[in-house]
């Protein structure tokens, strides 16, 4: 029961794979997308995206706002600021945003 998830930034398509479940930090609360979700459009707040396949987390991203469009068989995330959780390094400035991001990364997993 997989569907296609695409994560697109202005520079490149950073993720384009078939997955089972994705959990995203929506503006009104976290939500999960499974196959055959109804068409859905929302935007994200700062938070973590978890990607599941065969009941395991296979990847996670740290995202800072973005737009999610879910259509019949696919889910597209457009975002300007996203990084793989494990690749995140706080920049030299270490401003408020960086501290928030570091804090969020330390959060324990869902489930």
Using CB under 8 A, list all residues that contact another protein: 8-13, 26-28, 38-43, 67, 69, 71, 76, 78, 80
Nearest distance from C-beta of residue 8 to another protein, angstroms: 5
Closest separation in Å from C-beta 79 to another protein: 9
User: In the complex with another protein, which residue's Cβ is closer, 9 or 57?
Assistant: 9
- The CB-of-3 to another protein minimum distance in angstroms stands at 16
Question: What residues pair up with 78 in beta bridges, in sequence order?
Answer: 8, 67
Tokens of 94: 């270490």
DSSP β-bridge partners for residue 79: none
Beta strand 3-8 pairing with 74-78: parallel
Token look-up 């490149």 returns 12
């Amino acid at each position: 029961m997989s569907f296609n998830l695409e994560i697109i930034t202005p520079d490149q398509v950073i993720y384009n794979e078939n997955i089972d479940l994705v959990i995203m930090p929506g503006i009104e609360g976290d939500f999960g997308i499974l196959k055959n979700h109804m068409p859905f459009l929302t935007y994200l707040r700062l938070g973590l995206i978890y990607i599941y396949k065969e009941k395991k987390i296979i990847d996670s991203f740290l995202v800072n706002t973005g737009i999610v469009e879910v259509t019949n068989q696919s889910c597209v995330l457009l975002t300007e600021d996203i990084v793989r959780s494990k690749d995140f390094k706080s920049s030299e400035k270490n401003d408020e945003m960086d501290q928030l991001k570091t804090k969020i990364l330390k959060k324990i997993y869902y489930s």
